[in-house]
Chains A and B, each alone.
Chain A
Amino acid sequence: MPSTRPRVSFDKNGFCNGCVYNRVRKEITNWDERKRELVQIIDSKKTKDTNTAYDCVIGWSGGKDSSAVALTLKKELGLNPLLVTFAPLIPTEEGEFNRRSLLELGFDSVLISPSLRVSRHLSRRFLIERGDPKIHWNAGINAATINIASALNIPTVFYSEHGESEYGGRVLSEASVRERSIDEILENQIGDDPLNWKDELISQRDLEPYVISQKKMSELQILYFAHFFPWDIVKNLDLVEASVSFQRNRRGRTYGTFTDFDSLDDVMDDLYYYMQYIKFGFGRCLRDCARQIQRGRLSREAAFEYIRKFDGEFPEESIDSLISFLEISRQDLIKIIDVHRRPDIWKRENKGWQLHSPLQLENF
């Protein structure tokens, strides 16, 4: 993991905390015990007043990970989850197809679609000011599950995995590996308080789909599926493809990486991950490779080849959808992107940009 990845930490041997977690902690965990714990935990929150139809809420995008969570909880534990989706900014065909596929199997779902006027404004503003067009979406996915779970009196919510411990980042506490707190959401997921987003065009009421209520959270338990089952994104993919008709990326390979099965539901993701490359000097490919290496599934040599070829690939075919949503011109988009290059990471070379220290295999 590169040191520019926000919040990552390294031990004295240079291993990032994601690697340590995957190589060491996962091996020694008693997963049967965790599974039993999970059933108890869900039951412990049930009372005569809680919802009798649904056992839990799952934050669901229709992708391989959240669908695997839904399938596992239903099949292995016999639970009836309510799937809650926060609408992608620019829905893809693959995303919609994959959601429908799972629903065909027999799940109930709720789709929260926020005002496009507000979403577009915030997306453009955050792209320009912060280099991240999905900051509000990160707030929304959290708020949506919390609001629905609270409204329907379903006290248990599942997210797929805790990114900070699985992939490298800041682990706030022991408890935060298991359960998502408001600190985790505000600090690590969003990085800001949605109440700060008022401006001349956005009022407090417009921010309703994004505001996280601490009061509602205190009545729920928001758990990570990956704390109870060994998390493996490839096994997730296998499970989902075996159970339903799953569409991979129509292009054949997702922009900026070597995979075709990850994060397919929002065209905005192409720009989101491209901005990661601009801001931190590493992109989607390096991130995907790092995850595979953390699990011992990919060699450094092979990974290096992928990264050299695909990391930081410009999402050319998605540009039209992106500028149409953001309502900016192509030139403006390029200008905006370039302003986010840190001068200590990037240098201007001829008419293009070069990383000061591009990845070398020896250092990898």
Chain B
Amino acid sequence: MFKRIIGLVLLDQGVVSRTRNFHSDYQYTDEFIDTRFFDEIAFINISQNHNQESYDKFRNTVENLMRDSQLPVSMGGGIRSIDDIERFRLFGADRYIINQTSITNDQFISRVIEIYGKSSVISSISHSGEFIASRRYVSTQSISDRVAEIGSNCGSEILLNSIERDGTLRGLDLETAKLISRVSKAPLILSGGVGNATHIDDALKVNNVVGVTTSNIYHLTTTTVSSWRSSLLSNGANIRLI
């Protein structure tokens, strides 16, 4: 099976945003996002307020971007109930990204897996290096402990969300990925820090890593991704030929 490059579109009240350490710091029109050269698209609703207005704005942008695209779509952002899942499903989601950073969602996720199937769930965990973290603070809990706690209740993949690397262009956190792959067999998707094709190449070579995401607005444009794919393929990376 091929490994994947996932275009991660962060939407704040339906507006495409770039984040740095999860704080939204640059917003842009969605005109320049080209989904064609990705393997999958993920949309995360990062709005502070979750209400009907923000859902409508989210949906409009998603519809706009996916209108002429035939790619798998994942969605996430504030998923806490089956209603939230259904809402995303009606917006066109194939898979759901659910935050499993803290223990509160565990039972809920078992339910979701029961109803929608293991392959429709992606568990995301936010971290800063080897510690669990949120946008406001870094905890003392180790991420490998949390992953062991989750066990097989993780859906089809675990998405490791590096707060520390988010927006830095410095490269993905491969140390933590390797650490986690010693504790769990779950396939991993790495998020946070993609700067150039070499970062992606290095990440896809790590055994359990099945995909990487980028949300940098400049990376979501046509020429950047298509030139990445050419570089990666000529370096022998295990990605599909488009």
Contacts and interface: CB of A to CB of B under 8 A. Distances in A.
Interface of chain A, main secondary structure:
loop
A39 B135 CA distance: 40
B169 A343 contact: no
Contacts of A340: 29, 31
Contacts of B14: 344
A6 interface: yes
Interface string A186-212: 110001110110110000000000000
Interface residues of A, number: 25
A343 B29 contact: yes
Contact of B219 (A7, A125, A196, A341): A196
Given A129-B221, A186-B169, A186-B195, A196 B227 contact: yes
A11 to B, nearest CB: 15
Contacts of A130: 32, 217-218, 221
Contact of B169 (A125, A170, A193, A279): A193
B168 A187 contact: yes
B196 interface: yes
Interface in B135-169: 167-169
B69 interface: no
A6 B196 CA distance: 22
Contact of A342 (B15, B195, B228): B15
Nearest to A341: B29
B27 A4 contact: yes
User: Which range holds the interface residue count of chain B?
Assistant: 20 to 34
Given A130-B221, A196-B197, A6 B26 contact: yes
B227 A129 contact: no
B168 A342 contact: no
A129 B29 contact: no
A339 B31 contact: yes
B227 A170 contact: no
Interface in B191-231: 195-198, 216-219, 221-224, 227-228, 231
Interface of B: 13-15, 20, 25-29, 31-32, 167-170, 195-198, 216-219, 221-224, 227-228, 231
7 contacts: A7-B26, A187-B20, A195-B196, A196-B224, A279-B29, A341-B29, A344-B15
Interface of A: 4, 6-7, 125, 129-131, 170, 183, 186-187, 191-193, 195-196, 198-199, 279, 339-344
